[in-house]
Structure 1
Amino acid sequence: MQHFRVTSFLFTVLGSLTLALSASANSSSTLTINVDGLRNRKGQVCLSVFAASIGFPSKTTNAVQSQCIKITDTPLRVTLGQLQPGSYAVAVLHDENNDRQANRNFLGIPKEGFGFSRNPAIRFGPPKFAASAVPVKGSSTNIQIQLKYF
């Protein structure tokens, strides 16, 4: 009888652990991004979400999610789903002429608005991934990105 109780207890504990591990492995989060500071409603806003520094912030092929959204309201609110808990950096472009590119003048200065998660100071070029990374955990995370124009 004692052997049965121990075995039953072990199966209960192992079953609970397996259930907890599979639930956390299958859980995903949503990231809601509030884009503030749009100077007009022309064009679209393009967002790219990166899980690592490779390609951040401009190589959208390295992004885990990337999309462009027509501007309907200001501030613009975008919710992205199916993200595994972890650190992500978001790059945003106000693509005023709908060409999906960050247009620059002859000096290389951006002609369109841009922004990054955590709103880091922009010195000489884009920020590093670590300066823009935000933790995404739980069922939902909300961030605010303030666009900059030169």
Structure 2
Amino acid sequence: MRDTNAWSIRRPALRVGGIAATLLAAMPALCGPLSVSVTHARSDAGSIRCGLFDRSDTWRQEDRAMRAVAAPIHNATAHCDFGEVPEGDYAVAVFHAEHGETQIEYGFLGKPKQGVGFSNNPSIAFGAPDFEAARIRIGREPVNLEITLKY
């Protein structure tokens, strides 16, 4: 003989569990604001272009940044505000667009013609860093980075 009383107790519990799972899936990922101060611009001409990258396979491809921000320069410093960023791993690349460039220009031996910088301020003596060297973690808390331009 089937215990109908036990079934009637489990059915609402299954419904509540299903509703809770649906609500959790619909909630947005945790977000934290990301702000970047870019320092040591050699002049206040032009702007600083900042790119936020969420994948290593698109890293440093300006047209494939997850978000891009251009900021004016005042007293050799610019501030790029990316707003709320979903929790995860990212990297930031910046360059000084003194003449309104939208992409980095390269000179002899692939050296950038503009000032460049990356999250974590890794060395660029032997070329641009990989995604891992510039990787930062975004959670709920605000993240304020300082990136130093190198020419």
Shorter-chain TM band: 0.7 to 0.9
Aligned: 1:39 with 2:39: no
Mapped partners of 2:22, 2:57: distance in 1: 33
Mapped partners of 1:86, 1:130: distance in 2: 13
2:47/2:71 contact within 8 Å kept? yes
Match of 2:22 in 1: 18
* CA-CA distance at 1:118 after TM superposition: 1.2
* CA-CA distance at 1:43 after TM superposition: 0.8
2:33/2:141 contact within 8 Å kept? yes
62-71 vs 117-126, greater mean Cα deviation = 62-71
Which amino acid counterpart does residue 86 of structure 2 have in structure 1?
Q
Provide, for residues 85-126 of structure 1, a one-character-per-residue CA deviation record: whole Å limited to 9, x for no partner: 221111100111222343455454334211001111112110
2:36/2:146 contact within 8 Å kept? yes
Q: Which runs of 5+ in 2 are unaligned?
A: none
Match of 2:69 in 1: 67
Aligned length: 147
* CA-CA distance at 1:12 after TM superposition: 1.9
1:1-150 aligned within 5 A: 1-25=5-29, 28-57=31-60, 59-72=61-74, 75-81=77-83, 83-106=85-108, 108-138=110-140, 140-149=142-151
* CA-CA distance at 1:81 after TM superposition: 3.4
RMSD after superposition: 2.5
Which amino acid counterpart does residue 67 of structure 2 have in structure 1?
Q
Provide, for residues 54-104 of structure 1, a one-character-per-residue CA deviation record: whole Å limited to 9, x for no partner: 2422x2122112232222465322211364322111110011122234345
Q: Which runs of 5+ in 1 are unaligned?
A: none
Mapped partners of 1:107, 1:128: distance in 2: 18
Which amino acid counterpart does residue 135 of structure 1 have in structure 2?
R
- Taking structure 2 as the reference length, the TM-score comes to 0.79
- Of the two, which has the highest radius of gyration? 2
- Taking structure 1 as the reference length, the TM-score comes to 0.79
2:119/2:147 contact within 8 Å kept? yes
Mapped partners of 1:6, 1:52: distance in 2: 44
